[in-house]
Amino acid sequence: MRIYDGSPRQDWEEVLRSIGVFIDSQRLKEVLLLELEGGFLLQGLGVAAGSADSDSYGSMVKRTHELTDEQVAEMMDASMARRGSADADRAHPDLVNYYELAMRIVGAYVDSEKAHDVFLFEQEGTFVVRLFKVGGPRSSAHELAEFTRDEILAMIESAPQHRQKSAPGTTGAP
């Protein structure tokens, strides 16, 4: 991902969270995200546009977005500017921000694995992620990880307590 070339850490948590905000705003579901040389390819199912008397009203259609690194950087800036509000990091009761929070969790995992070349897909709230990890000269390989909807929801629910415990000046695991 070129946004962070030369940086000591590629902040996938923030990148995927910002893309998640976009997914939520577009009301997509069953998403596929593929990292490209200059950004991402995002595909998901969205509600078809149409008039109330149209036969296609309410039907799902595949939507595809190519998100350039520059667009993702703008999304990240907008997402960070929105922070600090009382409910920016909180799950909404009806989870209208599900992808923002779920993608943040997946991004934190990618960061912890120090991986790149991210490919992920989601179906019914479960995420499957394929990462490319570089080890030694002969140990580079793709790895798969799965996060079920129940696991994602549990991590979303526990995130505020985890952040509170790891805040400076508190006791608890970082």
Q: Is residue 36 part of a domain?
A: yes
Residue 70 placed within a domain: yes
Listed residue (72, 66, 64, 98) closest to 11, CA to CA:
72
In 56-157, beta strands by DSSP E: 60-68, 116-123, 126-133, 141-147
Residue with tokens 């546009």: 49
End-to-end CA distance of the chain, in Å? Answer: 27
Asked, for residue 174, whether it belongs to a domain, the answer is: no
> pLDDT above 70 covers what percent of the chain?
72
Could you tell me if residue 68 is inside a domain? yes
Q: How many domains does the chain have?
A: 1
DSSP run (H or E) holding 43: strand 39-47
Q: CA-to-CA distance for 107 and 12, rounded, in angstroms?
A: 5
Rounded average pLDDT over 86-106: 75
Q: What is the domain range of residue 7? A: 2-166
CB 13 within 8 Å of CB 104: yes
pLDDT digits (tens, 9 = 90+) for 104-130: 999 999 999 888 889 999 999 999 999
pLDDT at position 27: 93
Q: Does residue 171 lie within any of the structural domains?
A: no
What whole-number distance in Å separates Cα of residue 132 and Cα of residue 140?
Answer: 7
pTM above 0.85, yes or no: no
